[in-house]
């Protein structure tokens, strides 16, 4: 995950995104990138160093100049991770996170105790906070679940 975060940080700049886009079309040197971007060579060099540290690009000496190229595998890895994340989100959409077996490991006890107070899975179906909703509204949001944490202290209708 740290590698993906560093890649996103490296891509979180418009000029660096433009550099990646240009290098995907062909290998270029610092001077060519500076001319096309309309910024100094020093600025391009700083951007290239950030992209290189994130392992998105590398340089190869050709005569007097170093030409830079994109590591397409890194971009494919980002695409794969984002694809997995989008599928994961669809899978957990209807699950109350408090009920997951690993919830205790992920969240501290104070957060876990209050979890259903502030993170309903379908808040658009509720009238307010889960603690202010009727058992019927909670049932509509979470499905037909007995002993759901949102229902604690309320008269449960089954």
30 in a structural domain: yes
**HSE value, Cβ hemisphere, 13 Å, CA-based, for 8:** 9
**Can you tell me the distance from the alpha carbon of 78 to that of 55, in angstroms, rounded to the nearest whole number?**
12
Q: Identify the domain boundary among 59, 74, 89.
A: 74
Question: Which residue segment(s) compose the domain that 137 sits in?
Answer: 97-149
Percent helix, strand and coil across the chain, each to the nearest 5:
60, 10, 30
Specify the number of domains making up the chain. Answer: 2
64 in a structural domain: yes
155 in a structural domain: no
- Mapped onto helix, strand or coil, the DSSP state of residue 54 is coil
39 in a structural domain: yes
25 in a structural domain: yes
The CATH number of whichever domain residue 23 belongs to comes to 1.10.10.10
47-59 pLDDT per residue, tens: 999 999 999 999 9
**Can you tell me the distance from the alpha carbon of 105 to that of 103, in angstroms, rounded to the nearest whole number?**
5
For the chain, what is the mean pLDDT?
A: 78
Residues of the chain with confidence (pLDDT) below 70? 88-133, 137-158
- Mark whether 22 and 58 lie in a shared domain: yes
80 in a structural domain: no
pLDDT at 158: 44
The answer for residues whose C-beta is within 8 angstroms of residue 37's C-beta and 6 or more apart is: 15, 18, 19, 44
- Mark whether 6 and 69 lie in a shared domain: yes
User: pTM for this one?
Assistant: 0.58
158 in a structural domain: no
154 in a structural domain: no
pLDDT at 85: 80
- Mark whether 107 and 142 lie in a shared domain: yes
pLDDT at 7: 92
pLDDT at 52: 97
- Mark whether 112 and 70 lie in a shared domain: no
């Amino acid at each position: 995950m740290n590698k993906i975060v560093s890649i996103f940080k490296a891509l979180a700049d418009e000029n660096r995104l433009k550099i990646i886009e240009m290098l995907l079309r062909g290998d270029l040197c610092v001077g060519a990138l500076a001319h096309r971007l309309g910024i100094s060579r020093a600025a391009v060099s700083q951007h290239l160093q950030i992209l290189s540290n994130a392992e998105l690009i590398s340089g190869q000496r050709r005569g007097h100049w170093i030409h830079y190229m994109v590591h397409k595998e890194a971009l494919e890895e980002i695409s794969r991770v984002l694809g997995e994340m989008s599928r994961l989100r669809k899978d957990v959409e209807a699950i109350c996170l408090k009920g997951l077996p690993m919830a205790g490991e992920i969240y501290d006890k104070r957060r876990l105790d209050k979890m259903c107070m502030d993170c309903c899975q379908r808040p658009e179906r509720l009238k307010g906070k889960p603690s202010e909703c009727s058992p019927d509204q909670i049932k509509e949001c979470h499905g037909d679940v007995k002993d759901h944490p949102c229902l604690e202290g309320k008269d449960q209708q089954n």
